[in-house]
Amino acid sequence: MKKGNKSQRHEKAKAKRSLQQTRRAAARPVPPPSKKLPKPPTSSAERTKLLAEMARDFKDPDYLRWIAAGVNYIVSDYEAGRWETLFDDIYQEGVPEAPPAPEGIAQRVVLHFGEPTMGTYEDLLMKVCIGWTVMPRESHYIYWREARRRLLTDNPNVDLATAMQAAPNAVVWLLLHEVKQYLLSRV
């Protein structure tokens, strides 16, 4: 026996089709960002220089905080201005300990998303977040360095340590939104 009258069933089916179309549209690949993202070095001399800079400037606590902050920026909705965090504790003052290792961060991402339906926006977002956490340290350093460069370009007198720890920072959020769009286009 069918529930409801014919028009109610029709409205319910229409709403279901609309939801399915919205999910399909959200799951479509997003074109790469318009801004040019930094690329890894191509020559061995450039790579050696990058690795030396990274060893000097990008210590483990900075590296792990950057990964956790990146996940926060990626799960947030830049276009709607909706800030969401999976790692609130990295913004608390007086918290000297770094977030867990990249594998622990990825595990927390999986726990947050659960088991999203394959092909939905949530599924793609989870894959992007996990991809972000397991990306090579050199890639993280390149984006971290680019965030610092953009912060200094935006305001030459900025305190980089404070600006990089701020949640959310508009300049860093824009960069990581571009990274997110690029990664979504590659999933």
Total residues found in the chain within this entry: 187
Looking at residue 76, the DSSP 8-state letter turns out to be S
Question: What does the pLDDT look like over 42-83, one tens digit per residue?
Answer: 788 888 888 888 888 888 888 888 999 999 999 999 988 999
Could you tell me what percent of the chain has a pLDDT over 70? 78
Q: Which residues, including other chains, have CB under 8 Å from residue 159's CB and lie 6 or more apart? A: none
Q: What's the mean pLDDT when you consider all of the chain?
A: 80
Question: What does the pLDDT look like over 90-106, one tens digit per residue?
Answer: 877 755 566 778 888 88
Neighbours of 26 (CB within 10 A): 14
pLDDT score for 58: 87
pTM of the model: 0.73
pLDDT beyond 60 at 155? yes
